[in-house]
A and B are shown apart, each in its own frame.
Chain A
Amino acid sequence: MHVPKTVEIKRVINETKTIKTFIFNFDASNVKTGQFMMVWNFKDEKPMSVSLIDPINNEIGITIKNVGPFTEAIHSLKAGDKLGLRGSYGRGFEIAGLNILAVGGGIGMAPISAFVYECWRRGVNVDVISAATTKDELLFTEQLKSTDVTSYACTDDGTYGFCGLATQFMEKIIEKKDYDMVVTCGPEAMMKGVFDIIDKLKIPAQFSLERYMKCGFGICGQCCVDNIGWRVCVEGPVFWSDEVRLITEFGKYKRDASGKKHDI
């Protein structure tokens, strides 16, 4: 049933000054990397990517950046406080290939992190590019050190790792190593850059898109994308590169709650 389940926050992890991860007891057996939950704070409800899936301890994590009134209200919550969760929703990432490159920008590292851990658990090689504006905003770079996953950091201001855009760094390393597949989540301008690279090199890739959502289960039509009409909440949020080619609004514009278009 598409009904929010009220659950207690088990613990809160401060990831950066603006980003927190909230851990819940939740049946994780059917949750896939790249899927999202509708998160309800009893006032408003928004889609959020799952950043941690632990089927052994039956825990999931949702990583939220404080960007507005809704996320600010959630950031004020502590362990023991409650939230409503419904989902998990959408088509997630698929593990395909043996050498994967994962590119996460900003809070886009949330689903990328879940995907990278899943690959690591399954013994599939995955290299990660984690990008942020500055060193203090880099997400999950410390945690990834506990795995043997190769992880690269990029910062816009050069305070840590490569100084520059994730896509600039991606172009450098993709020359040196053959990747079977790329997955990415982050600002759409970044993902458009990733698309242009993989398109030129003919590497299959998966992109996690974000659009304004209402129902989350494919009925309202709020998150449908031009010109193909697919619902980001059901057919997405993860789309393969050949599908992204049919999403003509990708990298160009998105619609708000009223349906009005805004440039990306």
Chain B
Amino acid sequence: MLEVSLCNIKLKNPTILAAGVLGSTAASMNWVSRSGAGAVVTKSFGLKPNKGYPNPTTVEVTGGVINAIGLSNPGVDVFIGELEKIERSTPTIASIYGASGNDFAQVASKIENYVDLIELNISCPHAQKGCGASIGEDPNFTAEIVKAVKKTVDTPVIVKLTPNVTDIVEIALSAEKAGCDGLTLINSLGPGLKIDIETANPVLSNKFGGMSGPAIKPVALRCVYDVYDAVKIPVIGAGGIADYRDVVEFLFAGARCVQIGTSVMYKGPSIFNEINLGIQKFMLKKDYKSIDEMVGITHKD
């Protein structure tokens, strides 16, 4: 009942672990898979090892979290050791980052045989210079990266977009035209700032961090709604999903699947099973037979 197909890959349900949360090791991703996720996305990794920013890298704010981890990862060659240990009972999506088409293509070619899908992180709002959102804010640079990866690998490629642009539809269309197979909307919002009022210090060592959690859900939902209208490729919704009602909203707005990240902090990996049970109960009550028939129905008259 909950099965859904994404870029010709079958998922047992539409809930996916979002990049950057419990995705640093095969062990934690396997745990999330066993806890009911339909697919898992790794933490973003690139060509070279990266320690990220010093702590504090995360702080809670009203409605969510702001974080500036800074894309910490051991580099693709070491991370392949984790990819090898992922139980492939659920589809695995590799989140990769870089500063150029060549960077992305090199990483993608090294890992394509270990994963079912590749998600391009061109939207991290706290990445080091030249990476992350500095790419995804520019439709031409976005297209250049997509083309470079698509030319190199046969694995389907999805692109995760930043909401921090004047017109997200323009970027989405540019990515679609360049050949990507799907879009994830949205990466974290902002960046935002949190100040300790006793000492006047910013809490995060990077000062600014991407905002995630329930407070960004309405923005994410609007982005999905707008982009769904404009593109033909599947859209994956992400941003502030905390329960099954949020998932239903994203499906109605046009998302085929959803990604869940920050809400893991409230309930742990068991949130996936809980949300899936909730969706199933809702579908029975409202007499929906499949996820497919729920996708985008808010757009109908």
| A→B interface (CB under 8 Å) | 1-4, 6, 38, 40, 42-46, 82, 84, 214-222, 224-231, 234, 255-260
Known: A6-B199, A218-B268, A221-B22. A258 touches B50 (CB 8 A): yes
CB-defined contacts of A221 to chain B, threshold 8 Å: 21-25, 28, 43
CA distance A6 to B20 in the complex (A): 28
CB-CB nearest in chain B for A216: B58
Q: How far, in whole Å, are A16 and B268 apart by their CA atoms in the complex?
A: 40
Q: Which residue of A lies closest to B82 (CB)?
A: A259
A64 to B78, CA, bound (A): 33
Interchain nearest-CB distance for A176 vs B (Å) = 40
Other-chain contact of A219, B26, B50, B65 (Cβ < 8 Å): B65
Tell me the smallest distance from the CB of B298 to a CB of chain A, in Å.
Answer: 30
User: Contacts A42-B201, A214-B58; is A229 near B25 (CB within 8 Å)?
Assistant: yes
Set B26, B31, B43, B58: member contacting A230, Cβ < 8 A: B31
Q: Sample 20 A-B pairs with CB under 8 A, ordered by A number.
A: A3-B60, A3-B203, A4-B196, A6-B196, A38-B56, A40-B56, A40-B203, A43-B205, A45-B55, A214-B72, A217-B265, A219-B65, A227-B27, A229-B31, A230-B31, A234-B268, A257-B51, A258-B72, A259-B24, A259-B25
Whole-angstrom CA separation of A222 from B24 in the bound complex: 6
Partner of A258 from the list B51, B194, B196 (CB cut-off 8 Å) is B51
A219 to B261, CA, bound (A): 8
Interface check B192, CB cutoff 8 A = no
Chain B 128-140, CB-CB to A under 8 Å as 1, else 0, gives: 0000000000000
Closest to A247 in B: B27
Contact of B27 with A225 in the complex, beta carbons under 8 Å: yes
Chain A nearest CB from B89 CB (Å) reads: 14
Partner of A259, one of B20, B78, B85: B78
Least CB distance, A258 to chain B, in whole angstroms: 5
A163 to chain B, nearest CB (A): 39
- CB of B6 closer than 8 Å to a CB of A: no
B264 close to A226 (CB less than 8 A): no
Chain B residues with Cβ under 8 A from A44's Cβ?
54-55, 205
Complex contacts, A6 vs chain B, CB 8 Å = 196, 198-199
- Please indicate the chain B residues that have their CB under 8 angstroms from the CB of A4 in the complex: 56, 59, 196, 203
Which residue of B is nearest A218, CB measured?
B265
Bound together, the chains give a CA A46 to CA B55 distance in angstroms of: 7
Of the candidates A38, A219, A222, A234, the one having the most CB atoms from chain B within 10 angstroms of its own CB is A219
Contact of A82 among B31, B56, B199 (CB under 8 A): B199
Partner of A1, one of B23, B24, B60, B268: B60
Contact across chains for B58 and A219 when beta carbons are under 8 A apart? yes
Question: What residues of A have a CB within 8 angstroms of the CB of B26 in the complex?
Answer: 226
Q: B56 contacts A220, CB within 8 Å?
A: no
Q: Is the CB of B74 within 8 A of A224?
A: no
Within the complex, what minimum Cβ distance (angstroms) separates A77 from chain B? 13
A259 to B43 CA separation, bound complex (whole angstroms): 11
CB contacts (< 8 Å) of B65 on chain A: these are 2, 219
Provide the residues of chain A in CB contact with B22, threshold 8 Å.
219-221, 224, 229, 231
Q: Tell me whether A260 and B265 are in contact (CB under 8 A).
A: no
Is the C-beta of B280 less than 8 angstroms from some C-beta in chain A? no
Distance to closest chain A CB from B143 (angstroms): 31
Q: B73 contacts the other chain (Cβ, under 8 Å)?
A: yes
Residue in B57, B73, B78, B79 whose CB lies within 8 Å of A214: B57
Shortest Cβ distance from A230 into B: residue:
B31
Within 8 A of A (CB), among B194-230: 194, 196, 198-199, 201, 203, 205
Q: Does B30 contact A (CB under 8 A)?
A: yes
A82 to B199, CA, bound (A): 9
B123: interface (CB < 8 Å)? no
Report whether A258 and B52 are in contact in the complex, using a CB–CB cutoff of 8 Å. Answer: yes
Nearest residue, chain B, Cβ from A214 = B57
